[in-house]
Copies of this chain bind each other. A is one copy, B any other.
Amino acid sequence: MNSFGRNFRITSFGESHGAAVGVIIDGCPAGMKLGEQDIQPLLDRRRPGTSRLTSARNETDRVEILSGIFEGRTTGAPIALMVRNEHQKPEDYGEIREKFRPGHADFTYQEKYGIRDYRGGGRSSGRETIGRVAAGAVALLYLSDHGITINGKILKVHGKTDPDEFEQEIVSAKKAGDSVGGIVEITASGCPPGLGDPVFGKLDALIAGAMMGIGAVKGVEIGDGFAVTEKFGSENNDPMTRNGFLSNHAGGILGGISSGQDIVVRIAVKPTSSIAKIQQTRDIHGNVVEISVVGRHDPCIVPRVVPVAEAMLALVLMDCMLEQMKYH
């Protein structure tokens, strides 16, 4: 299933080492000003090689708009966005062709499909997120025009909460041939009340699905999240006042519908699965073997998850904004 959303519906395609990756957006309102310059910056934030903390690859990842724009504006037609994969040089994939990398989708793809594009992880590669991020940039533009802003930040890396320590944790893990994870918090401000649908289209349910669908994410919280399980109801309920609420333990969502407060989401990002340290695994023939996953891998993908999570939250909110218009 490579589509997401009901109203602002995106369909993603592409593998790490195929010809291109990209996305089609179906349902974007007509008349929006949109150009490649509106999309590229978020893609650039997602790209590796932008800081010491991310991998050393230098991918340019230039987005091309293939359709849906006329004289600088959206027309209501589907918007196809494509990024050519530039560095498809022949590499030695001998090892990962036969060995299932621990923590990766290698084994499960092989089981599911009976065939696996092992080059750089194929469809399960993080490069797949280019499509989502490009679509998310369009959604962010629309939301911004409607007074909604989305901001992500790193709360923790490897258990540390002081940003000064983040880089040190990552560099230290890298030196050890290892990797670390962390926690990201995304906040949406300016959302009108009323977004989200009862029962199976709850805003928090849509957000949870969107976030857990980002590779490496293993947990999602809304508002106070797991901490609420240690509180009394009288502590956790947000009292109301004339113009809103006195607190925001709920994270901006009540009964699955936005309340008008900030929407607050936190996600747990696992340590990168690709590590140089030797691990035990299996090969496709059933033999137990050792593997050291070498290459240009981020020892911590937490920083790169931030724009992806922002994009996913934008896609959910955009979709709910359009959904909500049906009934007004």
CB of A175 within 8 Å of the partner chain? no
Q: Could you pull out 22 A-B pairs where Cβ atoms are within 8 angstroms? A: A11-B11, A13-B77, A14-B78, A31-B113, A75-B123, A76-B112, A77-B198, A103-B233, A103-B254, A106-B255, A108-B193, A112-B257, A176-B232, A181-B229, A204-B218, A208-B213, A221-B268, A228-B270, A233-B273, A236-B270, A322-B327, A323-B326
Let me know if A221 and B219 touch, CB within 8 A. Answer: yes
Let me know if B233 and A67 touch, CB within 8 A. Answer: no
Chain A window 294-328, contacts with chain B (Cβ cutoff 8 Å), 1 for yes, 0 for no: 00000000000000000000000000001111111
The complex places the Cα of A7 from the Cα of B258 at a distance, in Å, of 20
- A73-116: which have CB < 8 Å to B? 73-80, 82, 100, 102-109, 111-116
CB of A44 within 8 Å of the partner chain? no
The complex places the Cα of A208 from the Cα of B260 at a distance, in Å, of 23
Let me know if B67 and A277 touch, CB within 8 A. Answer: no
The complex places the Cα of A110 from the Cα of B3 at a distance, in Å, of 28
| A240 and B123 contact, Cβ closer than 8 Å, known pairs A66-B19, A221-B268 | no
Let me know if B200 and A2 touch, CB within 8 A. Answer: yes
CB of A29 within 8 Å of the partner chain? yes
Let me know if A211 and B208 touch, CB within 8 A. Answer: yes
Q: Which residues of A contact B (CB under 8 A)?
A: 1-4, 6-7, 9, 11-15, 18-22, 24, 26-27, 29-31, 64-70, 73-80, 82, 100, 102-109, 111-117, 119, 122-124, 128, 156, 158-159, 173, 176, 178-183, 193-194, 197-202, 204-213, 215, 218-226, 228-242, 246, 250-251, 253-260, 268-275, 277, 279-282, 286-288, 322-328
Let me know if A13 and B322 touch, CB within 8 A. Answer: no
The complex places the Cα of A311 from the Cα of B246 at a distance, in Å, of 35
Distance in Å from the Cβ of A226 to the closest Cβ of chain B?
Answer: 4
The complex places the Cα of A196 from the Cα of B106 at a distance, in Å, of 14
Task: List the 9 shortest-distance A-B pairs measured between CB atoms, nearest first.
Answer: A105-B255, A1-B201, A209-B209, A205-B213, A179-B233, A208-B212, A108-B257, A233-B271, A102-B237
Distance in Å from the Cβ of A41 to the closest Cβ of chain B?
Answer: 21
